[in-house]
Amino acid sequence: MKMTLKESLGFTVLSMLLLCVLLGLQAGCKTNPRTATELHRLQGYWESVPPAKNSITITDNSLHYYAQTDFWYETTFTLPAGTDPQQLHATIKRCWYPDNIGKVVIVLFKIEDGTLSLAYLQTGAAPKNLEDEEADRFKLRKVQPQKKNTELPKSK
């Protein structure tokens, strides 16, 4: 059976597309060991140091930040591989201020000696480093959750 030029080009394009899909699936299935380790270490309930009203609860890839009944965020996040310092990209799903829903916040973090250090900019850009003076910075310690801070208020 003879193939026309048009059929030959279609077959080539289809073959290349299939190859790209298979390679993409294979690449997507690989887990970066550092990212998996950091995700595991982030899990739990964290309170700000020194003791304050701020808390973060992390379950799987969900992060819930709570300061008070009228200042809280519910997000999902990813941990991009190969960043130094480690980054957390949080997408706001629910919050006290509806205009923030859908925004992405880039947070630098490190866990050292049981303390979670965070730095982020209100603009959504990544801070220069964890000590960036323009960034909002937090230090938190993992503790047993307090019932009052683990439940987020209902959306308005």
Query: 């080539």: which residue's tokens?
Result: 12
Structure tokens of 129? Answer: 């480093």
Express each pLDDT in 111-150 by its tens digit. Answer: 999 999 999 998 989 999 999 999 999 999 999 876 655 4
**Ranges of each domain in the chain:** 1-30, 33-150
pLDDT recorded at residue 53: 81
CATH number of 33-150: 2.40.128
Spatial CA neighbour of 73 closest among 58, 95, 91, 47: 95
Express each pLDDT in 30-73 by its tens digit. Answer: 456 777 899 999 999 999 998 678 999 999 999 999 999 999 99
pLDDT recorded at residue 141: 95
- The CA distance from 77 to 60, in Å, is 9
pTM of the model: 0.72
- The CA distance from 68 to 53, in Å, is 7
pLDDT recorded at residue 151: 57
151 DSSP assignment: S
